[in-house]
Amino acid sequence: MEKGKFLLAAGALVMLFTSCLHKAEIVEITVRPMPVTASLDAEPNSKAAAIVDEYRQKVTEKQAPVLGTCEELMEAKRPESLLFNFAADAIRWKADMLNGKPVDFAVTNSGGLRNVFNKGNITVGDVYNIFPFDNYLFLMTLTGEQCITLFEELAAAGGHPISGANMVITSDGKLVEAKIGGKPVDKGASYRVATIDYLAEGNDGMSVLSKGTERVPCEEMILRQVVTDYIKKFTDAGMPVSAAIEGRTIIKD
């Protein structure tokens, strides 16, 4: 395949129907490659374009409202970044309200952050671009032992967004030290944790989260809305959205 080109398989399907039972049987399949290049845009399908145009304006209007401002680029990078900390802080902030008292820490995954906040206005569309999935908040309780396992899983990935906890890891993904609320993890204690439903199922290498107890799915709290509310908190206070690198995950060999 030439660089810059993609291929689609365009095929023809021949089916044979029996006269009595009307059951279809495949008797022949033919396939040919179709290069996807700029030439396809030269003569766009007018009917398809009309359908797209009908919805484009509606989507644009929905995504245009400004929620707040950002004074610097915020992106997702391991082991720690501004967008990592912002996302985890938003989850922890909302989880405190839902839990009725502060949770011990929050964790989400880097793969769920699909874009950046650029310097300047933050629109509804920007939030959708970064948080495109319909994940919702999820509360659970982990033992100290399970928390250590979780931090080991985070270390193996090179770091994920966390709030209320700190880790020291090695460059090859080993956990050196973990703290919750500034204190070493007590293996005999229990900790209230905020995350998202996708991770609560044990996905993205965080298998221990599927074993948490006192599980509370907060299905009405879609992550996009949580982030939107968090942005508005800054805006209502007359402040730009902000986050800081705080040494939440440090690589040290």
Domains of the chain by start residue, with CATH: 6-56 (no CATH), 72-251 (3.90.780.10)
142 versus 25: which is more confidently predicted?
142
Look at 216 and 36; give whichever has higher pLDDT.
Answer: 216
At 152-201, the pLDDT tens digits run 999 999 999 999 999 999 999 999 999 999 999 999 999 999 999 999 99
Can you tell me the mean pLDDT for 232-240? 98
pTM for the whole structure: 0.82
**CA 171 distance to own-chain centroid:** 24
What is the mean predicted confidence (pLDDT) over 96-125? 97
What six digits make up the tokens of 73? 């680029």
Is residue 2 very low, low, confident or very high in pLDDT (cuts 50, 70, 90)? very low
Q: How far apart are CA 103 and CA 243, in angstroms?
A: 19
pLDDT score recorded for residue 183: 98
Lowest-pLDDT range, 13-27, 77-91, 214-228?
A: 13-27
Cβ neighbours of 169 (radius 10 Å): 25
Kindly report the length of the chain: 253
Q: In what order do the strands lie in the sheet with 162-163?
A: 162-163, 105-107, 190-196, 136-143, 213-222
Q: Which two tokens stand for residue 169?
A: 């890891």
Residue 27, pLDDT above cutoff 90:
no
* pLDDT tens, position by position, 84-106: 999 999 999 999 999 999 999 99
Question: Residue 122: beta bridge partners?
Answer: 68
For residue 111, the 8-state DSSP code is G
**172: its two tokens:** 């090859």
117 secondary structure, DSSP code: B
Secondary structure, 3-state, the chain:
CCCCCEEEEEEEEEEEECCCCCCEEEEEEEEEEEEECCHHHHCCCHHHHHHHHHHHHHHHHHHCCEEEEECCCECCCCCCCHHHHHHHHHHHHHHHHHHCCCCCEEECCHHHCCCCECCEEEEHHHHHHHCCCCCEEEEEEEEHHHHHHHHHHHHHCCCCCEECEEEEECCCCCEEEEEECCEECCCCCEEEEEEEHHHHCCCCCCHHHHHCEEEEEEEEEEHHHHHHHHHHHHHHCCCCECCCCCCCEEECC
pLDDT band at 15 (very low <50, low <70, confident <90, very high): low
